[in-house]
Structure 1
Amino acid sequence: MNRLLTLLFALGLLAGPTFGQTADNPSDPAPAEYTFRFVAGDDMFYVPWSGNGEELNRLLSCVEQHKAAILDGGIPVEVDGYCTSQATEGENLVMAKTRSNRVKTEMILRGGLTEACFRTYNHAAEGNYVTVRIVIPSTPSEAELEAQRKAEAERLEAEKRAEAERLAAERAAEERRKAEAERLAANETETVPPVLEEARDEAPEGCAMGLALRANLLRWATLSPDLGLEWRIGSRWSVGVNGTWTSWTWSGVDRRYALWEVAPEVRYYMGKERRGYLGVLFKAGQFDYKLSDTGKQGDLMGGGITGGYQLRLNKALALDFSLGLGYLHADCAKYRAIDGVRVRCGNETKNWWGPVHAGVTLVWKLF
């Protein structure tokens, strides 16, 4: 052990004249550089050896002074690792990287930095050491600061002038529009008849009288084709009807899903754009469901209040979102299928209060 310490001490004396240290006054605007020496062929960072401890204290003192700017990314910390004691260039680069990481670990654990603060470069040349370079930006002089303040004040003043000119131009344009409107009103000699005026007010674009084809996409999603028509008899009122029909049989005759339904509706459209509406719905139909051992076949009838909103896609297409609440009455016969023959096994009557309609309907305006 004594021989090893003696050898390390001798190597330190030999390396001392070779590697100089750069002065690092923390307030100096020039970059601060620090050098840490490593034993040839060894990647361990011996802090007490060859002045590394004093150099590390100087580095940590500089880091502490500029820590906030370093963590924010304003001051980069450049770490360069060097190694030439290995047999190949690849081995030298690997050891240089390990040495750089040893030094960075000290700055992370003792200086509070993170890996994101560093720019690391490794070299297979020039010796066995690691340098740390902290690029501290220069402090602007009072004259430079005054020039910057003056430029900023001029920029703000120019922005204020531009904003004032913009507001003045907008006021002038508004006054011209008002003057033109007053001139047209004064020169108008013919008045629009009240009935036509009311009709024009109540017929925004896309809401005038016309015929539209409808398809409830929720019905189609349950394999129940659904089509309907809606006739706008005014800008606010419409009448329509939707019809649904489906018939599915599988597993022989053991499973059945069949339905037909007719649902007329009257709607009143509200608001300036006539998109939202309230309506009255009536529906009647027949069903035949056998999704388990017992099937149900019968009639249904009911109705309720509907409400919804139409989302316009373009001049011809729109999506109609609707929901109806009300009452449904159903009378049905229960049956079982025995050797392909339906055998009646009872009757059932149901009365339902609640949701009676839901729709996401594609509307295509024909004319």
Structure 2
Amino acid sequence: MVAIVLLCTFSGTYAQVAGVKTNLIVDATTTMNVGLEIATAPKNTLDLYVNWNPWEPGGGRLIKHLLIQPEYRFWFCEKFAGSFLGVHLHGGLFNMAGVKLPFNMYPGLRDNRYEGEFIGGGVSYGYQWVLSKSWNLEANVGAGYAYINYDKYQCGNCGKRLEKDRDKHYFGPTKAALSIVYVF
């Protein structure tokens, strides 16, 4: 009986209950980002990512933005190891110009400035590889919806407002991450 009580009391002592991470893909864009993931049950975690880019790189480019993206995750085996499915929300602010996005997405960003906010949600799939007792590598992709409200300006740092309170409904990728994770 004593062994059962001790086993139940101390069995989770060394289990990972949280992780702090950074998305290496986002790091490559000079965007500061941090994620915090907390276990809520043996196969469930809550993840919160914050990305912030206050920089004006020059040359007519402007990529200022703030993104907050909470996500609930269900792990197929155990938390912080293997496959998971996620459901996420996202919201944020942006002020962008002079940017060429992949796949010719939003070609107007090359010649105009867009300032606004967005909110939405989506689903994701990911996998974490255990590298050591305290370090993991995570890959995660997601798709979903975003409602975008914006004003359009003539050029990056100047120019008159061309359009006000425009709306866009976006369906497509909402998440791409290759993260290094410190678990504890």
TM range (shorter): 0.7 to 0.9
* C-alpha distance after superposition, 1:80-118 (max 9, x if no partner): xxxxxxxxxxxxxxxxxxxxxxxxxxxxxxxxxxxxxxx
User: What is residue 352 of structure 1 aligned with on the other side?
Assistant: 170
Matched, 1:288 2:95: yes
- Give the counterpart letter for 1:287 in structure 2: F
Unaligned runs of 5+ residues in structure 2 are 99-109
Q: Give the drift of 1:342.
A: 3.6
Give the counterpart of 1:237 among 24, 39, 44: 44
Between Structure 1 and Structure 2, which shows a larger proportion of strand residues? 2
Q: How does 1:148-187 map to 2 (within 5 A)?
A: none
Unaligned runs of 5+ residues in structure 1 are 1-188
* Contact 1:294 1:335 (C-alpha < 8 Å) held by counterparts: yes
RMSD (Å), alpha carbons: 2.7
User: What is residue 136 of structure 2 aligned with on the other side?
Assistant: 318
Give the counterpart of 2:121 among 295, 299, 303: 303
Give the counterpart of 1:260 among 66, 80, 84: 66
Name segments (4+ residues, structure 1) moved above 2 Å: 189-193, 271-274
User: What is residue 328 of structure 1 aligned with on the other side?
Assistant: 146
* C-alpha distance after superposition, 1:233-254 (max 9, x if no partner): 2321111211001123213xx3
- Give the counterpart letter for 1:271 in structure 2: C
Give the counterpart of 2:17 among 210, 229, 234: 210
Taking the aligned partners of 2:78 and 2:129, their CA distance within structure 1 comes to 14
The count of aligned residue pairs is 169
Taking the aligned partners of 1:196 and 1:247, their CA distance within structure 2 comes to 48
Q: Give the drift of 1:271.
A: 2.2
2:55 is paired with a residue whose SS is strand
Taking the aligned partners of 2:16 and 2:32, their CA distance within structure 1 comes to 27
* C-alpha distance after superposition, 1:242-289 (max 9, x if no partner): 1001123213xx331111111111111112684211111111001111
Q: Give the drift of 1:209.
A: 4.4
* Contact 1:209 1:234 (C-alpha < 8 Å) held by counterparts: no
Taking the aligned partners of 1:337 and 1:220, their CA distance within structure 2 comes to 26
* Contact 2:97 2:155 (C-alpha < 8 Å) held by counterparts: no
Q: How does 1:18-167 map to 2 (within 5 A)?
A: none
User: What is residue 77 of structure 2 aligned with on the other side?
Assistant: 271
Judged with a 3 Å threshold, the aligned counterparts in structure 2 of structure 1 residues 230 and 276 are, in CA distance, closer, same or farther, namely same
Q: Give the drift of 1:320.
A: 0.8
- Give the counterpart letter for 1:238 in structure 2: T
User: What is residue 222 of structure 1 aligned with on the other side?
Assistant: 29
Percent identical residues: 25
Taking the aligned partners of 2:50 and 2:149, their CA distance within structure 1 comes to 20
Taking the aligned partners of 2:45 and 2:124, their CA distance within structure 1 comes to 13
- Give the counterpart letter for 2:38 in structure 1: W
Taking the aligned partners of 2:78 and 2:155, their CA distance within structure 1 comes to 57
**TM-score of the two chains, using structure 2 as the length reference:** 0.80
Q: Give the drift of 1:190.
A: 7.2
1:314 is paired with a residue whose SS is coil
User: Which of 1 and 2 has greater Rg?
Assistant: 1
* Contact 1:230 1:241 (C-alpha < 8 Å) held by counterparts: yes
Q: Give the drift of 1:341.
A: 3.5
- Give the counterpart letter for 2:66 in structure 1: W
* Contact 1:209 1:231 (C-alpha < 8 Å) held by counterparts: no
Q: Give the drift of 1:307.
A: 1.4
- Give the counterpart letter for 2:138 in structure 1: D
* Contact 1:304 1:356 (C-alpha < 8 Å) held by counterparts: yes
* C-alpha distance after superposition, 1:65-94 (max 9, x if no partner): xxxxxxxxxxxxxxxxxxxxxxxxxxxxxx
User: What is residue 180 of structure 2 aligned with on the other side?
Assistant: 362
- Give the counterpart letter for 1:352 in structure 2: Y
Taking the aligned partners of 1:211 and 1:191, their CA distance within structure 2 comes to 28
- Give the counterpart letter for 2:163 in structure 1: G
* Contact 1:209 1:233 (C-alpha < 8 Å) held by counterparts: no
**TM-score of the two chains, using structure 1 as the length reference:** 0.42
- Give the counterpart letter for 1:332 in structure 2: Y
